Every structure is written in C-alpha cells, then in structure tokens.
Amino acid sequence: MRSIRYRTAVLLVASAGVAGLAAPTSVQAEPAPFGAGCLISLRGSHTTATCHNRYVGTDRVALHVECARWWDIDMDSAPVEVGPAQSVRLTGRCWKEISSVWVTHRRAD
C-alpha cells in the first residue's frame, strides 16, 4: 500500500488541476452597446427610415430598398453618420411597389 504522503500529494495535484480548469483564463469585457434604432415606414412606393442613436459611438446607417418589379431599379443610399444623441431621416422610393426595405449599420472609423 502506498504511503499517506504519496496519496496526499496526488490528491493535491489533482485538485489543483481541477481548480485550474474552473478558473477563467482571461476576462473578456462585454462589448459596448452600439447601433442607432431605426423605424421604417412604408407608404405606397415611398419609404422613410428615421434613425436615432442613443449610444456614445457614431453609427453609419444606410437605407436599402428592393423593388418588386424586375425592371424597377433597386436603391441603396449613401451611408450617413449618426452621432451620439442625433437623429437622421433617410428616404427612398421605387417606381411601383416595394418588395423589401432594410437599414444597415456600421461603426464609424
């Protein structure tokens, strides 16, 4: 039978290994909240997106409109910077019906 010291040493090494697995290796901070909140309204062939940035970082928003007719040209607006506590209004249209509308967000450099 093995000695008490040997068994104690094995238990200490094993428990230290388990404790090392449970301890976090690095602390990762949660990313800061980002992105303007946008409301999209659709009226016939015209659409409007109103975006308000309630966060500290600057957001670059762009409106994208996909038209329902194959011959109707889809529209992508130029990106607009929305600073902290600012609001912007983006508009777009199709000649006929609108198939889908969405807003993209990107952090300003």
pLDDT per residue over 45-65, tens digit each?
999 999 999 999 999 999 999
Contact of 75 with 98, CB cutoff 8 Å:
no
Task: Give the residue from 37, 103, 38 showing the smallest Cα distance to 65.
Answer: 103
Domain contains 70: yes
pLDDT, tens only, 61-105 = 999 999 999 999 999 999 999 999 999 999 999 999 999 999 999
The pLDDT value given to residue 104:
97
* Any domain includes 23: no
Residue 32 dihedral angles phi and psi, to the nearest 5°: -65, 145
Does residue 14 lie in a domain region? Answer: no
Q: How many domains does the chain have?
A: 1
Closest by Cα among 88, 90, 83 to 108: 83
- Classify 56 as helix, strand or coil: coil
Query: Which domain does 102 fall in, by range?
Result: 37-107
Over residues 9-57, the pLDDT tens digits come to 555 555 555 555 555 567 788 878 888 999 999 999 999 999 999 999 9
